[in-house]
Amino acid sequence: QGPGSSFEARVVAICEAMMARPGWSGPPLGTAGTSLLAHGVTFRGMTLLHLAAAQGYAGLVEALRRWRALAVDSLELEQEIDPLNVDHFSCTPLMWACALGHREAAERLCRWDRRALAVPDPLGRLPLALARARGHLALVTRLEELQMSPVSPRCHLPGL
């Protein structure tokens, strides 16, 4: 299986093609013939970003971050690609990445918006505490390093 043949790579390619297409989001909300990105049925409130994080698709997390930065006026993308959005379990995408030990995806989410480190689950656990409890110590160490670095808490610059 080549580097571009993975499922994640195919989804990233689709997102990048959609990013490049003008008018991808269709007419404004509430108009006839609307073509929304936001799907009507969610899987337990999980957005595209939640699903990418839970699967450990760091490349897809990055593609979604770039897409969100390009479409700052899109309500659809704001709802679907928000690192602080919680699902029906009150978990952010970062919580999923930390719980499942997806270090690279967690690192990219933390660089995107560090405030997600302070969003607890319904039991009051924070992403780093959950990662530590599940034995993902390298992930915890890396995110603690990021947390202590002087970079601004919210960064939307490409490549960060």
Residue range 108-126, pLDDT digits in tens: 999 999 999 999 999 999 9
Local structure of residue 158 (DSSP, 8 states): T
Range of the domain at 77: 7-21+42-148
pLDDT of residue 142: 97
Residue 71 is predicted with a pLDDT of 84
Give the separation between CA 157 and CA 99, rounded to whole angstroms.
26
> Residue 89 domain-assigned?
yes
Would you state the pLDDT for residue 133?
98
**In this predicted structure, what is the pLDDT of residue 14?**
83
Residue with tokens 């009150």: 90
Predicted local confidence at residue 17, as pLDDT: 83
Report pLDDT for 42: 58
Structural domains of the chain, count: 1
With a cut of 50, list the residues of the chain below it in pLDDT: 1-4, 26-39, 153, 155-160
Whether 32 is in a domain gets the answer no
What pLDDT score was predicted for residue 23? Answer: 60
Which residues are CB-neighbours of 44 under 8 A, at least 6 positions away? 87, 88, 89
Asked if residue 37 belongs to a domain, the reply is: no
- Residue 10: predicted pLDDT: 85
**What's the CATH number where 46 sits?**
1.25.40.20
**Per-residue tokens: 115:** 């405030």
